[in-house]
Structure 1
């Protein structure tokens, strides 16, 4: 009976250590919830998602914050024409994940109709 208890405790300890080390093994993870369309007619777009196992998160080189669950939502003001939206995440061991997407801002033009 004592041997069974000792083996159970050892196996449980190894299992628990393996489960807790999953963050060390996987590194930083980014999940983008709202992928922007390539062609945009609005000047401001919102980018949201979840960052897991990160200590640093930047959007176009600017640090952004997450809540305790890793959720983030940030607005991006687009320049005229072609832009690249990039998101970089880093964990405490220096491992990095990079995500980027091109975006083209096309200003909406209203067509005026003249009537006689």
Structure 2
């Protein structure tokens, strides 16, 4: 009887340990599963600006490279980027594209009006 209880306890501990390891692995892999994430802080989409030189700022996570209108830009260690861009008079469409190391892509489109 005692031997059977030990065996049951050992089996339960093994199951709990396995579930804990699987949960931890999924928790750590959430960024790999999620893919690249890009957030644009400034300027807002659809905003009208009165100066031709604007600063595009935001944060990117889980990326291997990022481009603004097909021009490579760089992020700091925390994932923040700041890029200045000269706008044409009138309606401007800016495309921010990010890739992760698995080839997944995310794209943000920013529409600005320079008046």
TM-score range, shorter chain: 0.7 to 0.9
Alignment of 1:36-55 (within 5 A): 36=44, 37-55=46-64
Q: Which runs of 4+ in 1 moved over 3 A?
A: 1-5
Q: Which has the higher helix share?
A: 2
Is the 2:53–2:85 Cα contact (8 Å) retained in structure 1? yes
**Is the counterpart of residue 69 in structure 1 residue 78 in structure 2?**
yes
| Whole-angstrom CA distance in 1 between matches of 2:89 and 2:42 | 21
Aligned residues: 106
* 1:81 CA drift (Å): 2.3
TM-score by length of 2: 0.81
Superposition CA RMSD, Å: 1.6
Is the 2:49–2:112 Cα contact (8 Å) retained in structure 1? yes
TM-score by length of 1: 0.80
Return 5+ residue gaps in structure 1 as ranges.
107-116
| Whole-angstrom CA distance in 2 between matches of 1:15 and 1:101 | 38
The residue matched to 1:33 in structure 2 has which SS?
Answer: strand
Return 5+ residue gaps in structure 2 as ranges.
1-8
